[in-house]
């Protein structure tokens, strides 16, 4: 499922005039290159999403498929005062993400 960039209206999806440019001219075009690929999205409030990018728009509203959301919390141990990182994951088959929560979009990180 490839939908393309929404900056110039959704007309290209419905086969009306408007060509999508193939050159990379601005940062959003880099996201266009990741359409239908798995991506990593860092969001506000210590959240991360990994999923397949189906669509996006100029606000970075996105539609992600087969997405895994990771919420990371830091707990401080009362006695040793060390920071314990805890993460909660959940899986969602198809998710619409509102753009104002998105911090960055990248190819999936390789766990090193």
Partner 1 sequence: EPQHLGPAVCSPRRRRGARVPRGRGGSGRGRVPRAGPGPLQELQPVGERRTMEISHSVKERTIAENSLVILLQGIHGHVTTVDLRDESTALGRITNVDAFMNIRLAEVTFTDRQGRVSQLDDLFVTGRNVRYVHIPDEVDIKATVEKQLQLIHKVRYFGGRDKGRKEFPTARHK
Q: How many residues does the chain have?
A: 112
Residue 72 tokens read as 């990371």
Give the three-class secondary structure for 101.
Answer: helix
Regarding 16 and contact with partner 1 (CB under 8 A), the answer is yes
Please state the closest distance from residue 105 (CB atom) to partner 1, in A.
15
Say if CB 62 and CB 99 are below 8 A apart.
Answer: yes
- For position 106 contacting partner 1 by CB under 8 A, the verdict is no
Q: Which of these ranges, 9-17, 27-35, 81-89, 104-112, lies near partner 1 under the rule CB under 8 A?
A: 9-17
Q: How far apart are CA 20 and CA 32, in angstroms?
A: 10
Task: Name residues contacting partner 1, limited to 54-73 (CB under 8 A).
Answer: 54-59, 61-63
Q: Is residue 105 part of the contact set for partner 1 (CB under 8 A)?
A: no
Our CB check for partner 1 shows the closer of 50 and 112 to be 50
Q: Give which of 90, 96, 100, 88 is closest to 65, Cα–Cα.
A: 96
What is the rounded distance in angstroms from the CA atom of residue 69 to the CA atom of residue 90? 5
Residues contributing to the site for partner 1 (CB under 8 A) = 1, 3, 6-7, 9-11, 13-14, 16-17, 54-59, 61-63, 92-98, 100-101
């Amino acid at each position: 499922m490839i939908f393309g960039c929404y900056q110039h209206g959704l007309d290209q999806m419905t086969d009306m005039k408007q060509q999508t440019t193939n050159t990379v001219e601005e940062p959003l075009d880099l996201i266009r290159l990741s359409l239908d690929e798995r991506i990593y999205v860092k969001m506000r409030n210590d959240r991360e999403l990994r999923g397949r990018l189906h669509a996006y728009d100029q606000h970075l509203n996105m539609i992600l498929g087969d997405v895994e959301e990771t919420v990371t919390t830091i707990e401080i141990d009362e006695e040793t005062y060390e920071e314990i990182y805890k993460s909660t994951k959940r899986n969602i088959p198809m998710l619409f993400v509102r753009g104002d929560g998105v911090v960055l979009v990248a190819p999936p990180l390789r766990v090193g």
